[in-house]
Structure 1
Amino acid sequence: MITSIATAQAVPKKMCVFDLLGANGPFFAQMKDYKTVALAWGVELELKPYTSERVAAEDFKAGLCDAVSFTGIRARQFNSFTGTLDAIGAMPSYDHLKSVITTISGKKAAKLMFSGPYEVVAIYPAGAGYMFVNDRSIDTVGELAGKRIAILDSDPAQVEMVNFIGGSPVSASIATMYSKFNNGSVDVTYGPAIVYEAMELYKGLEPNGGIIKFSLVQLTIQILIRKTDFPEGYGQKSREFALSQFDLGVEQIKKYENTIPAKMWISVPEVDVTGYLEVFRQSRIRLRDKGIYNGKMLKLMRMLRCKKDPQQPECTAADKE
């Protein structure tokens, strides 16, 4: 009865939803749950699946949908603060990511969710991004030099990173980067554990490849709205709801990670971890100085990292983020 009353009073809105697997994918399923809850906030969402997040972003910009759900990397063009959550090497674990999302989902941080006509109304974990390599001997940054690495053509940060380590960047979209890996056009790609099965990456990993067990990036799915089209207070309710779903999301992500055969994982030698972290840190600083990463978000993430592990060299570095 309550649901039918809410539906009768709800304002209809269209939402573009990016999911590599379209209407059958996990992120689309997540948005179906979100749609149900949004009724209580006075909005009835009509979900439209997209397998191209570039097209989803363009349709959102053009006003063909009132809300959109896609990766934080794509969200950066609309809000550099939340779009910097997906910065390379900035969040070592799901625990770190939860801390920062908790911090920015509160009412005090609400103003940072606004940028022009847009508002970020939800941030969900999408999984740690791992490097998939076709040669198991690639387990240090130095060994990536000269390798063909698939990068998202929508993300200048990835171009910068690959050039810095001496790799050979090969431009791709999310839709094509995995097929390029499977057919041997690139030596390295990256993504969350879900793509192992969904994009059949085991094909590109055979016979000598593997997945480097080191979180390159914490990927997120973010929901943005055109704020004037939604009821007052919608964004805050939505952000608090998304935060309440964080642990459930990570639980699902870990199920995907645990389905990958143990033999596929490549451990990074402990002695090389510090090197990885410093390469990523220098990259983030350069990208901040170029205006690609948001300095305020980088500083917040650095403070959270150092709170959890004050012994890290970056915590006393002269060139802090």
Structure 2
Amino acid sequence: MKKIICMLILGFVTTTSWAGAQTWCVFDPLGTQGDISRRLQDIRLYALQHKTQLKFDTFKDEKDAIQAFDQHKCSGLVASNFHTYRYNHFMGSTSGIGLISNNRVARMLLQLLTNPNVEKRMLDQNYEVLGMIPIGTAYMIMNTQQISKVSQLKNKTIGILENNPPQLALVQSVSAKPVYVDFATAVDSFKQKKIDILAAPAYGVLPYNLKKEFGESTQVVNFPVAYFAINIVIRPQAYPNGFGHQIRTWFVKNSNVLAAQAMQWENHLPAYYWADISGYEKQGYEALVAKIRNRYVDSGYYDAYFVELIKRLRCLDDPKSLECRR
């Protein structure tokens, strides 16, 4: 009799240790066969080992994924760091202009996701960030003549995201003309010559023959503007205690693989597309970006702790950069 009771208790504990299947609304412009969706399958298997079942509802338009999440049709959201800013300013700041400078710095950030000082900033009463899938540095892609000086950006049309004041301020600071785009329309706007310059990661244009489809003068300026990544946000109340930490542990363990994939995408962009600007112009642009970035740190738009942390990581990566010189 005791044996039967123990078996019943064990069965109850085992059953209740499993969370009900949770659905994540996923933005993947390539659908269920895209790189983001494939990476999520790895996370799904890892979560399964920790007694949590995940299901994915995939959207090719990011607005639809966010809307479904806000309507509580799913307990998790997988979307860009630009548009998950509203749920967590710390990890939303990963999209900040002039902050994460390359994939190496992104990798170092991933390695810190279980650090207590970092981890506590990824959780509040309503939302929790589980991790970040690196996509790569956003560069200026131009279908106009080569621009070697910041002053040559004057009167050029530049695509920016709505509700992103720092991007607007940066464009206005170089006397260019902002044109609002979203991830669903940005490439088409560029292709149709509605904008002269598009900021995008190499991953976003790899499917295209740039010179054939966008024009012979198309080039990618080898200077980082911002960093593009996919953040995973959940409503923690729907998950077992410790679930967020477990998934962040997965990101720490896989930080090298995740960053290496983003590096590979950038390396796949043929060398003849890249355009370099002089060291002098780079310094001038860095100073301009830093000035605008600091304005939005002071206003509280960018998370101050994140900015300081990333500055330290950037200086570890490149001690000779302008901001790291003593």
Q: TM-score normalised to the size of structure 1? A: 0.90
Partner residue in 2 for 1:82: 91
* Amino acid paired to 2:294: I
Cα RMSD of the aligned pairs, angstroms, is 2.3
What is the letter of the counterpart of residue 291 of structure 2?
Q
Q: Residue 104 of structure 2 contacts residue 259 of structure 2 at CA under 8 Å; is this kept in 1? A: no
Which has the higher Rg, Structure 1 or Structure 2?
Answer: 2
Name which of structure 1's ranges 205-214 and 101-110 shifts more when overlaid on structure 2: 101-110
1:157–1:262 Cα change, 3 Å: same
Instruction: Please say which of residues 284-293 and 83-92 is displaced more in the overlay.
Output: 284-293
2:188 corresponds in structure 1 to: 179
Is it true that 1:243 corresponds to 2:244 in the alignment?
Answer: no
Residue 77 of structure 1, CA deviation: 0.6
Structure 1 residues 278 and 315: alpha-carbon distance in aligned structure 2, compared to 1, 3 A threshold: same
Is 1:298 the counterpart of 2:298? The answer is no
Match of 1:253 in 2: 262
**1:159 aligned partner, one-letter code:** L
Per-residue deviation, 1:288: 1.9
Alpha-carbon contact 1:134-1:204 (below 8 Å) kept:
no
CA distance, structure 2, for counterparts of residue 89 and residue 80 of structure 1: 16
Q: Runs of 5+ in structure 1 lacking a partner?
A: none
CA gap of 1:76–1:203, structure 2 versus 1, over 3 A, is farther
Q: Paired residue for 2:125?
A: 116
Say if 1:89 and 1:277, in contact at 8 Å, map to a contact too: yes
* 1:127–1:220 contact (8 Å) kept in structure 2: yes
Instruction: Indicate conservation of the 8 Å contact 1:105/1:236, yes or no.
Output: yes
Match of residue 283 from structure 1: 292
1:92 matched to 2:87: no
C-alpha displacement of 1:244: 2.0
1:123 offset after TM fit, Å?
Answer: 1.4
| Structure 2: 5+ residue stretches without partners | 1-13
Of 130, 149, 156, which residue of structure 1 is paired with 2:139? 130
Taking every aligned residue pair, what percent have the same amino acid on both sides? 26
* Separation (CA, whole Å) in 2 of partners of 1:158 and 1:309: 25
Q: Return the offset for 1:58.
A: 2.1
- Where 1:105 maps in the other structure, the secondary structure is coil
Q: How far apart are 1:62 and its partner, in Å?
A: 1.8
Deviations 1:126-158 (A, max 9, x none): 111111101242133222121101111242321
2:79 aligned partner: 70
- Structure 2: distance between partners of 1:116 and 1:57: 19
| Helix, strand or coil at the partner of 1:84 | helix
SS at match of 1:13: strand
Matched, 1:24 2:16: no
CA distance in 2, matches of 1:109, 1:262: 37
Structure 2 equivalent of residue 103 of structure 1 = 112
1:33 counterpart letter in structure 2? D
The residue type paired with residue 122 of structure 2 is M
* Aligned-pair CA distance for 1:179: 0.3
The residue number in structure 1 matching 2:217 is: 208
Q: TM-score, normalised by structure 2?
A: 0.89
Deviation at 1:26, TM superposition (A): 1.0
